Amino acid sequence: MGASVIVQKTSQLSEKFDAGEPVVLSFYYHNKFNVQFLNSFITKILSRNNMLYLRDTILSVLKELIVNAVKANSKRLFFSSMNLNVKDIHEYSKGMKDFKAYIIDKKSLIEEELRNSDLCVKVYFKKNDEEFQVFVRNDCAMLPDEAERVRVRIEKAKQYTNFAEVYEDMTDDTEGEGLGLLLSVLFLKNSGIDPNLLKIVSVEKYTQASFVIPKMLKSELQKSHIQIKIMEEVEDLPSFPENILELIHMCKRNDVSIKEIAERIMLDPALSASVLRLSNSAGFVTRKRIDSVFEAVNIIGLKNLNMVLIASSARSIMSTRYSSFREVWNHCNRVAFYARNIALQKGYSKIADHAFLAGLLHDLGKIILLSTTARLAEWIADITKNREMRTSTVIEEISIGMSHSAIGAAVAEKWNLPHYIIESVKYHHSPLCSDPAFSNIVSIVYLANTFAGIEAGKYEYPYLEDDVLEMFDLQDEGAVEAFHGDIKRQYEEHIFIALSAS
């Protein structure tokens, strides 16, 4: 099964899940393909339910539970092949020493042996109006000692308040499920999910781990405190300056001259510099370097100048209030360029410039998210490093229980930005949830953002929504990859020309 089939299959399964039907996935081993499939499916069901900020939590917990389940099956298979009685304490002790070497030395053979033995792991997903339910079941019962160790681990994990305490208190490393279960409990707790919703039961023929993801997260005291702080930040943001609002109004007039607007802009040196910088970075119409405000207005036109004024003001307010976050703005520049070119090449030229502006502002919320809670920064950096997470921004969202998309939409609404920008900011990770009137532009920004994320190692092609690929006539992974490569090449050429001219 190739990546394009994963895209189609996970899209079908996510539709089934959204309809309230159970989804069952079977694995023999936690291999790269299964990881990719789970990532794609979880990304889609969370995106469709505007809960994408929980993705890394859910994937991390699922990974730990599946790996433990596969390991339990592998252990029973190994003991059987060695004619050892797993229930005998002496034979168990002897077998465990050899088992640890076996799972390292025979790693490449274990999956085939599990498949031949028909020992599999089943993952069940179910949705209702209040919650998502996830079950991970393997074909072996736990021994009493194993069950007790798991119980102690989970109960102890509930007492921890941060990840540092886990590493300081790790004393029993005899079983691999130890650290994984501890971290799973803490991931759930720090996501606002009651850790008591993680349960592991074992009966005669199987062991089942389960957890519940409530639609309304439970840790209201912690979540509401941070969310209130964030919304206070949004409320305290200044509105656009009066001169900017007047210029935006002038751009809409039919009787205004380019000279009149240029002279008005030049009264503000900071705005003049910003307009020139954005005009050159945008690549709206020409590859020629723009050196004067009059030339900028003349070349890019009043419609595009209106967008430059909005983008310039937004960036100025955010940069004045917060750190520069150059990495975020560089990402936005790339997404904006990609969005405009996707629109131009896929038959949406009428909204190409709007797509550019929406791409330029799509991550407004991320800057506030990264700025609001300095206390979390060191903690999040440690988690990201120790668990080899792809990005720290999702963990920031996990700590807060509010996505950067929702924060950005609140900012866009405060500034009375056009509705298409608000929709693009709010749904650039979940385009299928957007207002149908703006689905085209939101999908363009979503695709552009995902392309940039693929380049940064955050996503893979199977994460893409099948409906979006169909909208742009990208029917298989080869077509998606080729189109992405072409867009990326155009951006790199644009950057090279811009640097050469400077």
Instruction: Report helix, strand or coil for 329.
Output: helix
All domains of the chain in start order, with CATH? 3-215 (3.30.565.10), 240-321 (no CATH), 325-502 (1.10.3210.10)
Of 60-74, 163-177, 285-299, 397-411, which range is least confident?
A: 163-177
Mean pLDDT of 69-96: 85
Identify which has the larger pLDDT, 289 or 65. 65
Of 98-102, 306-310, 349-353, 395-399, which range is least confident?
A: 395-399
Q: Which residue reads 């599999």 in tokens?
A: 120
Please choose, from the candidates 330, 385, 382, 389, the residue with its C-alpha nearest in 3D space to the C-alpha of residue 360.
Answer: 330
* Strongest mean pLDDT among 116-125, 365-374, 408-417, 482-491: 482-491
Please choose, from the candidates 276, 459, 441, 300, the residue with its C-alpha nearest in 3D space to the C-alpha of residue 362.
Answer: 441
Please choose, from the candidates 477, 458, 443, the residue with its C-alpha nearest in 3D space to the C-alpha of residue 342.
Answer: 443
| Cα torsion angle, 436, 440, 442, 447, sign | positive
At residue 388, the pLDDT reads: 46
Outline where 240-292 has alpha helix (H). 242-251, 258-266, 269-282
Q: Is the pLDDT of residue 6 over 60?
A: yes
**pLDDT tens by residue, 258-298:** 888 888 888 888 788 877 877 776 555 455 677 788 887 88
At residue 373, the pLDDT reads: 52
Question: Mean pLDDT across the chain, nearest whole number?
Answer: 80
Q: Is the pLDDT of residue 446 over 60?
A: yes
- Looking at the DSSP bridge assignments, the partners of residue 126 are 133
At residue 327, the pLDDT reads: 79
Please choose, from the candidates 259, 245, 133, 141, the residue with its C-alpha nearest in 3D space to the C-alpha of residue 203.
Answer: 141
pLDDT band at 3 (very low <50, low <70, confident <90, very high): low
Instruction: Report helix, strand or coil for 136.
Output: strand
- Looking at the DSSP bridge assignments, the partners of residue 131 are 214
Q: Which two tokens stand for residue 465?
A: 């929504």
Contacts of 335 (CB under 8 A, 6+ apart): 359, 360, 362, 363, 445, 448, 449, 452
Q: CA angle, corner 408, sides to 406 and 412, nearest 5?
A: 115
**pLDDT tens by residue, 216-264:** 765 444 444 556 777 777 878 888 888 888 888 888 888 888 888 888 8
- Work out the angle between the directed axes of helices 393-400 and 177-190 (0-180°, nearest 10): 60
pLDDT band at 173 (very low <50, low <70, confident <90, very high): very low
**For residues 290, 294, 298 and 304, what is the CA-based torsion angle, rounded to 10 degrees?**
80
CA distance 78 to 99: 7
At residue 127, the pLDDT reads: 92
Mean pLDDT of 51-74: 84
Please choose, from the candidates 43, 27, 29, the residue with its C-alpha nearest in 3D space to the C-alpha of residue 462.
Answer: 43
Could you count the other beta carbons within 10 Å of the beta carbon of residue 372? 21
At residue 247, the pLDDT reads: 87
Of 172-181, 274-283, 470-479, which range is least confident?
A: 172-181
Strand order in the sheet with 23-27: 23-27, 121-127, 131-138, 207-214, 199-202
At residue 302, the pLDDT reads: 77
